[in-house]
Amino acid sequence: MEKLKIVPVHIGIIMDGNGRWAEKRNLPRILGHKEGIEAVRRVVKLAVKYGIKYLSLFSFSTENWKRPKEEIEFLFSLMEENLRKEGENLNKNNVRVRFSGRKWQLPKNLYEIMDYVEKLTEKNTGLNLIFAINYGGRAEIIDAFKEIIKKGYKEEDIKEDLIKEFLYLPDIPEPDLIIRTSGEKRISNFLLWQCAYSEFYFSKVLWPDFNEDEFLKALIDYQKRKRKFGSVK
Ligand code: IPE
Ligand code: IPE
Ligand code: MG
């Protein structure tokens, strides 16, 4: 195995393909989401194992409200159940859990457990695990501008650093690597502001099948990238 010389500080993952995983097996889509949770468990362990400092998981987009009500409800109850089950365990493992998105529009039961786990793990210094739930990159920028206007900033104050300060989690560094599973090659409104200089890795594997091999492939590919940020090497 190739040695990993540089690991990304922050990895974002667009966890896509749960529905197709289920459809391939003639199962209802929701069972794909259920299986997707196992992949979440695996990838959290892998992030710890490979020394990733920040892992952002795109779990529900602002556009996913267009899905059938039953699927949405299933997704939210799955999130709630697993946060209840895993909160203490994540805490014991020094993981700091955070959430990004329009939390206030989520069902109360889910919102409450999110808030609980966030506070419970607040002081932890290990992996920073961010779940993007009811998250949209455009919504985030809109919400930032609303705050900026409320605070009375003027045209001349509008600079990159100011906008950054009003994003949902301003202290988190931008993702170095964004992985999308299931073969789709698009951003689907994930971290629009933050992905300006991210590297992208597209895996054909459906999210429930995502494993250490696939994760390592992405990390190895990342080694070869020459990041220039607009400058010359
Ligand atoms: C990703 O899987 C999970 C969410 C968007 C919540 P999908 O449900 O989008 O799976 P496909 O794309 O239909 O296969
Ligand atoms: C992106 O996947 C959102 C999440 C993974 C939560 P989608 O399946 O919703 O994206 P599109 O609709 O294929 O672009
Ligand atoms: Mg999808």
pTM: 0.98
Ordered domains of the chain (ranges, CATH): 10-136+175-223 (3.40.1180.10)
How many Cα atoms within 13 Å fall on the side-chain side of residue 75?
A: 21
Based on the residue annotation, tell me whether 109 is a catalytic residue of this protein: no
Segments of the chain scoring below 50 in pLDDT: none
Q: Which of 13, 14, 15, 18 to mutate to test the pocket of ligand 1 (most atoms within 8 A of CB)?
A: 18
Dump pLDDT digits (tens) for 20-65: 999 999 999 999 999 999 999 999 999 999 999 999 999 999 999 9
The overall average pLDDT reported for the chain is 97
Ligand 1 site: residues with CB under 6 angstroms? Answer: 15-20, 60, 64, 75, 182, 207
Say how many Å lie between the CA of residue 15 and the centre of ligand 2: 8
pLDDT in tens, 84-95: 999 999 999 999
CA dihedral sign, ordered 163, 167, 172, 176: negative
Directed axis angle between helix 29-49 and helix 69-92, to 10°? 20
Residue 176 among the catalytic residues = no
